[in-house]
């Protein structure tokens, strides 16, 4: 089962702003996370069974370097990911991550590990079990 979560739509939340100034995002906007270690973008995701989910994060990063991020499920760090430079804030790319999820609803959280903060995050798409 696949579920699509727009950053600007509940049940998602972030420390930062929801912006609309860069074209190419889906829905009506994207997250512009606060530039700080410990900032967060959170999505409530629901899986019917425990297991590895495929999580596709749509993002843009026009800074000079990749932005490293820790990924948490229900407050426990499950992995790290580095969101590469996409070349323009209006150029969106997809990062595909394997994330272990328990059954039920979990908070999936992205937290930057440098003061550059998160990339701009447009959406998260989760696929559980067989796609």
Query: Tokens 């590469």 belong to which residue?
Result: 84
**Under a CB-based contact definition with an 8 Å cutoff, are residues 89 and 60 in contact?**
yes
Least distance from C-beta 78 to ligand GCU, angstroms? Answer: 24
Number of residues that bind ligand GCU (CB under 6 A): 7
Q: Which of 6, 25, 117, 123 binds ligand GCU (CB under 6 A)?
A: 117
Q: Which of 106, 120, 123, 126 binds ligand GCU (CB under 6 A)?
A: 120
Least distance from C-beta 118 to ligand GCU, angstroms? Answer: 7
Q: Is the dihedral of CA 20, 5, 2, 72 positive or negative?
A: positive
Least distance from C-beta 56 to ligand GCU, angstroms? Answer: 20
Measured CA distances, 124 to 64, 85, 121 (Å):
24, 18, 8
Q: What residues contact residue 84 under an 8 Å CB cut-off, 6+ apart?
A: 61, 66, 93
- Site residues for ligand GCU, 22-81, by CB under 6 A, read 22, 32, 63
Judged by the rule CB under 6 A, the positions of this chain that interact with ligand GCU are 19, 22, 32, 63, 89, 117, 120
């Amino acid at each position: 089962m696949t579920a699509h979560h727009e950053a600007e739509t509940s049940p998602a939340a972030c420390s930062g702003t929801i912006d609309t100034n860069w074209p190419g995002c889906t829905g009506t906007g994207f997250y512009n996370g606060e530039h700080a270690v410990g900032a967060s973008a959170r999505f409530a995701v629901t899986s019917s069974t425990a297991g590895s989910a495929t999580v596709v994060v749509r993002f843009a990063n026009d800074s000079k370097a990749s932005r490293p991020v820790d990924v948490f499920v229900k407050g426990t760090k499950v992995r790290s990911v580095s969101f590469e430079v996409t070349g323009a804030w209006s150029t969106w790319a997809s990062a595909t991550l394997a994330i272990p999820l328990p059954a039920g609803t979990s908070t999936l959280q992205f937290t930057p590990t440098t003061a550059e903060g998160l990339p701009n995050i447009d959406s998260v798409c989760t696929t559980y079990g067989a796609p």
